[in-house]
Structure 1
Amino acid sequence: MEVSLRATVPPQFNRIPKSKPHNNRPVVCCFGLENHNSVELNQSKNDEPERTHNDIWRLFTEAQRNIMYLNRQRVQAIEELDEMKKEQKSLLEKLEQLESQTHASIKEDPFSIISELLLRIDSMVLTGILDTREASGFRSLVINTSLNVADYFADIISKSDAEILAQLRHVSNKKKMKGFHIIHICTEMEPVASVGSLASYVTSLSHVLQRHGNLVEVILPMYATLNLESINSLWEIKAEFFSYFDGQLHRNRIWTGVVNGIAATFIQPVYYSSFFNTENIYGYPNDFERFSYFSRASLDYILKSGKKPDVIHIHNWETSIVGPLFWDIFANQGLAATRILLTCQGLKSQCLEQPDKLAMCGLDPAKLHRHDRLQDNNKPHLVNILKAGIVYSNKVIVMSSIHSKDQIVSTLSHGLEFALDTHKDKLLIAPFGYDDSPWDPSQDKFLPRGYTADDTRGKAISKAALQQQLGLPENIASVFVGYMFTEDSDVDLENIKSLVRDSSTRGVQFIFVGISKIYGMKNKLESFQEGLKDENVRFVDEYDESLLHLIFAGSDIILCSFDDPMLQMPVKAIKYGAAPVPVNFTDDRLRKFIDPGNTERTQLSEYIINTFANVSLSQAIDEIVEEEAITVE
């Protein structure tokens, strides 16, 4: 038993001391384990070559699979790389094509590159790269009509300031500018910030002035609601710019861009950031503070950038404070040759304020609160901001397609009779103007089909489309009347309600639109709508340009305010084949239009007055219905 045990126990166990077991059970267990281990060890030695062979084959198989996978990945990567190269080549070709198209369009319309180049010159002045004297010479060079700017600068306009400056100095011939340098300081410009007629007026006038060889720029507030998509090359000038307000200098951010080929500068207050982070442009209790800050900042910017414009063009009461600011503070700082031009789209909105508020923008209240200066004629304890523009401007333009200078001074001055009469020699009356291109029914992109006086089928199609869009019965024989509320709409709403009720029983259809974005207009329209519910009447309280065009095209009658044609409604109505009818028709009100001795009216205004001014809505409807009946017979 002992011999057998020693033979089966591995050598390392031979040194275990012998001891008598306490019983037989451990011996049996030990013997059994030893025999089992011996069998396993022998079997392991026999299986080892086979396991080694299997492991090698498994590793080989896995390696082969990995190699095949890597080959597939390599092929796929090569294919993807080839595809990327093709896409890159295609993108480069498209980029080159776009660049060539851009250069071609720039050469076709040099005003865009001129505007952008002028803004780059401003940036160089503000950042200290260029002094004001040399900048003035470069501006003259750029606007010189004998110089083809696109040929010299089209390829480098996106380069650094240093490269552009080198090119400017290279081509500079120091020729005197032939046109005028005009800067608009205003609160609206189409299409970046539009409320009423001012926006289209600024843009259209700037285009015309540019085409006549003048240098035109526009300065606007940087509204939070600005239409950024309509601004090309918008960028911020990285320079410190401060302006004065309420006893301190405040930092502003300056942005520049090109709007429809016109150079535009946008001023963004930093400390008073809330001034223009508003939902609407107008209609807030602090409007005077907002726009007096902007007016002062605009003049500070003009001075610091070294500009010496021939004309600073201001608009309505919002920037009228520029007048006294310019002559009392800025004129003697190198701008003595500059002149101030004020344009008023209307005289109703004037802004009356406490005299002490004038000090916020740096003016002397005691000096200006006088009868011949800013003191309001009806409320002498207040100052009149629109009056400031009238008194301190070199020329004043009042927009009116209907009225003469005498009529405006005597009956439509809204309390400014004394100021207008005193400065009558510098007062000019101009008809409303607008860009003809979007208001031509023969090529109006918003109409389902264009039309002319010789082919009016498109007007009937537009009428059907308008009725369908508004959910009205599609009846081409129905008389359709359109009316657009504006911020200055001064109408007898009860009278209109009565007219609508009477006309609706005859199948006449009406559309009332609040085309102004001004604060409070929605409430005015809702109040009117509440008292007038009719199946033939529709109300729209949102600005919709396409619908506005369709209304002019689809309407038979356009109700207009002849006292204040803010958007030149009569002219647009006539162009689209609709009859402009006074919204507030009374015989007494229209007597002032009939003045055969008045020689100041244009032929257009004479035509409007003689043809439409003495026609009421009911008379116009009767005439259209009778004409339709005759046509059917």
Structure 2
Amino acid sequence: MYIVQIASECAPVIKAGGLGDVVYGLSRELETRGHCVEIILPKYDCMRYDHIWGLHEAYCDLVVPWYGTDILCDVYCGWVHGRLCFFIEPKSWEMFFNRGCYYGCDDDPMRFAFFSKAAMEFLLRSNKRPDVIHCHDWQTGLIPVMLFEIYKYNGMEFQRVLYTIHNFKHQGIAGTDILEATGLNRPEYYYQYGRLRDNFNPFALNFMQGGITYANHVNTVSPYHAWEAQHTDQGFGLGHTLHTHQYKFSGILNGIDYEVWNPEEDRYIPHHYDIATFEDKALNKKVLRERLMLAHGDKPVVAFIGRLDDQKGVHLVHHAIYYTLSRGGQFVLLGSATEKGINDWFWHEKLHLNDNPDVHLEIGFNEELAHLIYAGSDMIVVPSNFEPCGLTQMIGLRYGTVPIVRGVGGLVNTVFDWDYDGYHEPEERNGFVFFQSDTVALESAMDRAFDIWEKEPALFNQIAQQGMQYDFSWNHPGQDYVALYDYIRHK
């Protein structure tokens, strides 16, 4: 098959979150299975050009109709760690992608509406006719709309679209000007609930609503989150739309890159290990303590790695620090805050705990240190308020670091509680799960993990090694996506 991915991110050249990892990891997996994959991205001024090989101009002066006139774009081509990528650079006074950032501009809906329009024009003018166009999140929600309403009449009637939603919270809200700009026009037509009209604001258009409505199939990034999005507030207002289109909505769990996250050959950790040499994990724990100036001793190390924001259950992260200390453990945090208030809060805690030999708070992100923390910690807490998929717990399992997670989203599909899971045999269980978003629930799960670590160390190691046996690589998701592509091609 010939597949074109259209997205706002692709790791490591453009990465603001998990979306970039998925676009890169899935594309590589599809290629290993013999499929042809190309990726279309914005050409940001702030992306990591050092990760692109052979960048060159592939299409000069691409004409993109916009607001009844034209904007010219240059399209560049290069390889990102073996993936063939096309980067769209508009030549206009709006400077859509020369802002020094990927997201966060007041005109983000207009920026990514233009990117979507330009991507479709590039496919049309360069005579690319993929079997499947796979687009991602709100930034590309207009692509299925434009394909069905415009481009299928211009020679792209056989293309099919899979639309993957990574985060329902951000949906792309805009007004009538988007219709005029993209050439969709006809506001009376699109301001209907069955098309682009937002479910709660009758004066707003919703990119994600359009993507769900017009795509041939829609998926999110774990089976349980697909259920949550339809039946709980995790759909952030799109539950009715998803219910209407439930016949074409499903969940596929993300994978992680086992070439990057593999304790057997990880270049960022000093001591490699696997299930057979699990005792060598303790050597990384010693190095981690030395690097972060933590006290040595017979104590468990509990970690948190990730963004410090409300989605990640930041109030429970904070509580986990002090509860770990009260139970005689050590805590290591690596994360950056998305809001000033949370950033100030954790900087205050960092200064307050700075002389404590049992805790280290690293405010920011450091890729090398993240690998060492995974390898050197005994447990990792993931107390998210919502988590469409979650990569942290899967990486923790790979490194034999026992996850303590809240039972939401993809965490439910990957972590199976040692004491209470009724669907898996004891030899299949790999962590500890709690469900309420309060401190009592978190403490209950942490207590169970600590008790086993202290009283039955051999059993704790067994749980950790059972987690290492799981395959959360892109192998299974890749197979699922290929089956889905085949399905929408032939239906």
Structure with bigger strand share is 2
Equivalent residue, structure 1, for 2:433: 613
2:132 to 307, 311, 318: 311
Matched, 1:224 2:45: yes
Amino acid across the alignment from 2:165? C
Please give the alpha-carbon distance, in whole angstroms, between the structure 2 residues aligned to 1:464 and 1:470. Answer: 10
Residue deviations 1:533-585, cap 9 Å, x none? 32233332333211111111111111124641544222221111111112589
Equivalent residue, structure 2, for 1:429: 251
Please give the alpha-carbon distance, in whole angstroms, between the structure 1 residues aligned to 2:142 and 2:156. Answer: 17
Identity %: 29
1:283 to 104, 107, 126: 104
Equivalent residue, structure 2, for 1:388: 210
Structure with bigger helix share is 1
Alignment of 1:581-596 (within 5 A): 581-582=404-405
- For the residue of structure 2 that corresponds to 1:275, the secondary structure is coil
Residue deviations 1:231-284, cap 9 Å, x none? 121112363222122332111122111122221110111114632123331222
- Alpha-carbon RMSD across the aligned residues, in angstroms, is 3.0
**Are 1:503 and 1:618, in contact at CA under 8 Å, matched by a contact in 2?**
no
Residue deviations 1:22-59, cap 9 Å, x none? xxxxxxxxxxxxxxxxxxxxxxxxxxxxxxxxxxxxxx
1:575 to 398, 405, 409: 398
Which segment is superposed worse, 610-619 or 478-487? Answer: 610-619
Which segment is superposed worse, 444-453 or 463-472? Answer: 463-472
Please, which runs of 5 or more residues in structure 1 have no aligned partner? 1-179, 595-600
**Residues 603, 341 of structure 1: alpha-carbon distance in 2 compared, 3 angstrom cutoff:** farther
Equivalent residue, structure 2, for 1:330: 151
Q: Which has the larger radius of gyration?
A: 1
Amino acid across the alignment from 2:433? A
Please give the alpha-carbon distance, in whole angstroms, between the structure 2 residues aligned to 1:330 and 1:238. Answer: 20
Equivalent residue, structure 1, for 2:57: 236
Equivalent residue, structure 2, for 1:371: 193
Deviation at 1:313, TM superposition (A): 0.8
Please give the alpha-carbon distance, in whole angstroms, between the structure 1 residues aligned to 2:62 and 2:132. Answer: 23
- For the residue of structure 1 that corresponds to 2:63, the secondary structure is strand
> TM-score, normalized by length of structure 2?
0.81
> TM-score, normalized by length of structure 1?
0.64
Residue deviations 1:79-127, cap 9 Å, x none? xxxxxxxxxxxxxxxxxxxxxxxxxxxxxxxxxxxxxxxxxxxxxxxxx
Please give the alpha-carbon distance, in whole angstroms, between the structure 2 residues aligned to 1:288 and 1:539. Answer: 36
Deviation at 1:498, TM superposition (A): 3.4
Please give the alpha-carbon distance, in whole angstroms, between the structure 2 residues aligned to 1:548 and 1:564. Answer: 20
Equivalent residue, structure 1, for 2:75: 254
**Are 2:256 and 2:394, in contact at CA under 8 Å, matched by a contact in 1?**
no
**Residues 197, 491 of structure 1: alpha-carbon distance in 2 compared, 3 angstrom cutoff:** closer
Deviation at 1:626, TM superposition (A): 2.4
Amino acid across the alignment from 1:497? H
**Residues 257, 370 of structure 1: alpha-carbon distance in 2 compared, 3 angstrom cutoff:** same
Residue deviations 1:288-331, cap 9 Å, x none? 11111111111111111111111111001111111111111111
2:222 to 396, 400, 404: 400
**Residues 236, 356 of structure 1: alpha-carbon distance in 2 compared, 3 angstrom cutoff:** closer
Amino acid across the alignment from 2:279? R
**Residues 285, 252 of structure 1: alpha-carbon distance in 2 compared, 3 angstrom cutoff:** same
Amino acid across the alignment from 2:348? E
Higher relative contact order (CA 8 A, sep 6+): 2
Matched, 1:529 2:350: no
Amino acid across the alignment from 2:454? V
Equivalent residue, structure 1, for 2:380: 558
Task: Give the aligned length.
Answer: 435
Residue deviations 1:358-404, cap 9 Å, x none? 32222223221111112222233222211111111001111016x16
Please give the alpha-carbon distance, in whole angstroms, between the structure 2 residues aligned to 1:184 and 1:602. Answer: 36
Which segment is superposed worse, 349-358 or 441-450? Answer: 349-358
**Are 1:346 and 1:566, in contact at CA under 8 Å, matched by a contact in 2?**
no
